[in-house]
Amino acid sequence: MQVPNHVQEHIDTIAKHEQEFLLRRSPAERLGDLTAAIVGNLGFVAAHIFLFLFWILVNTLHLPHIPQFDPVPFSLLGTVVAMEAILLASLILMRQSRLARRADEREHLVLQILLLTEKEVTAVISMNQQIATKVGLSDMENNKEIEQLGRNTSIDEVAQDIQRSLSEDL
């Protein structure tokens, strides 16, 4: 199925913004993304399970030619796992912080587009009312709901009304 040209333009614009966002990442952010990609898959979990089982078996069974290096209660293993957990948690939190910033950027963009759309729709409704008046469509001309929609909306008032409504619910 062929995508309409205007839709493809939107897809291209979104893809361009995403690529620009990825290119702006710092080396630390790139490391965080790479770490999350590696850690966030079943192979990583399976490798750890295998490693832990091997570690425990080597240090509990008396295998020939393999010395025990971390006797029960496996304090070295505990230390290694704790250090890995700290590093992984830090890298993943860095990635989540960056993704949250990106989500904020997107929300701001969406808000700007919605504000622009509200102004454009208000202007179109106002023009339609004027046309209705000129051609004698009194039902459209005197419709209170359409008249109200044709007025500019105060975003500040809407935000304050939302805040009041939310504070009343608490």
Diameter over CA atoms, the chain? 101
Mean model confidence pLDDT for the chain: 86
51 Cβ contact partners less than 8 Å away, ≥ 6 residues apart: none
pLDDT the model gives residue 141: 66
pLDDT the model gives residue 3: 65
Pairwise pLDDT comparison (19 vs 170), residue with the higher score: 19
pTM, to two decimals? 0.64
pLDDT the model gives residue 43: 94
pLDDT tens across 85-108, in order? 999 898 888 888 888 988 998 899
Residue 147: pLDDT band (50, 70, 90) is confident
pLDDT the model gives residue 1: 64
Cis? peptide before 73, omega within 30° of 0? yes
pLDDT the model gives residue 81: 95
pLDDT the model gives residue 155: 80
Handedness of CA 103, 104, 107, 113 (dihedral sign): negative
